[in-house]
Amino acid sequence: MSAASPALQIHDCWNRIGVWGRETPRCPKLEQFTHCYNCDVYQAAGHMLHARALPTGYQAEWTEIVASRKQAHARTGLAAVVFRIGREWLAVPAGLVEEIVELRTVHSLPHRSSPILHGLVNIRGKLQLCVSIAELLGIKTGGGDAEKKEHRSIYPRMVVVRNDQHRFVFAADEVLGTHRYAEKELESLPATLSGALTKYSTGALRLGDRNVGLLDHELVLYAFSRSLA
C-alpha cells in the first residue's frame, strides 16, 4: 500500500483510561456512558478519521486492485459440468444443471414417436422427462474402456437440467464434475467430430488429456422439447 498520510493528533483516552486501558484512575465519563463507544470523545475521533484526506496514490492503487480482481473473476467466471457418454466427453453450462443423482428406473411411454424421449423417471417424488443425449448426438454407448483402465471408480449418473419451460433428465456413463474456464480457452471443434456433435456443440475445452465438447445448451434443449411433439 502507499505511504500513509501524516498521523492525526488523536488522544486515544479509551486505550489508556477507558474500557481498553489499564491506567488509573478510570475515565469519569464511564459512569455516564458505560462504554467508550457511547462517548462523544470516541465518536469525534471516529469522525476525524473518516474525514481525513486520502494518502497520495491511495485511490489509484485501490482502483488497480479492484480492476485486477475483476479480471481474475473474468478469467474463471465460466463453469461447465463435464460428463461422459460412451467415448465422448461433453459439457453443459453449470447454471443449467439442477442436480446429479444416481440412476433411476425409466418408465417407458406408450406410442412415443421420438427415440430421443426415453420415458419418465422419478426424481424426488416427481415424474420427470427422461431424454437421451446419445440418441440426439448419434453416440454409440458402452464405450469408455480406456477410462476403466485408469482403475478409477466409475459410476453412471443421471443429470437433471432445466430451462424456462421444461426439466429434462438424461443418463451419463460418468460425471467428472464442474470445470471452470475462461472464454478464451474455448477451442474450435476437431475436424474428426461427427456431424451431429458438430451441430450441437459450440466449441471444445481441453481438460487434461481429454477433449470436451461444450454443448450448445439452447439448441440441445430445443431438440429435447421438439421430441415431445
Q: Which three cell numbers stand for residue 134?
A: 446419445
What's the whole-model pTM score? 0.63
pLDDT tens for the 229 residues of the chain, in order: 444 445 556 778 878 888 788 888 889 887 887 788 788 888 887 777 766 666 676 667 667 666 665 555 555 578 999 999 999 999 999 999 999 999 999 998 887 778 899 999 999 899 999 999 999 998 887 655 555 555 567 889 999 998 877 899 999 999 999 999 988 888 887 766 667 788 899 999 988 888 899 999 999 999 998 888 7
Q: Give the count of beta carbons closer than 10 Å to the beta carbon of residue 217.
A: 19
Q: How many angstroms from the chain centroid is the CA of residue 152?
A: 25
Give the whole-angstrom CA distance, residue 196 versus residue 86.
15
- What 8-state DSSP symbol labels residue 17? T
Domains and CATH numbers, the chain: 13-75 (no CATH), 78-226 (2.40.50.180)
β-pairing, 78-85 with 97-101?
unpaired
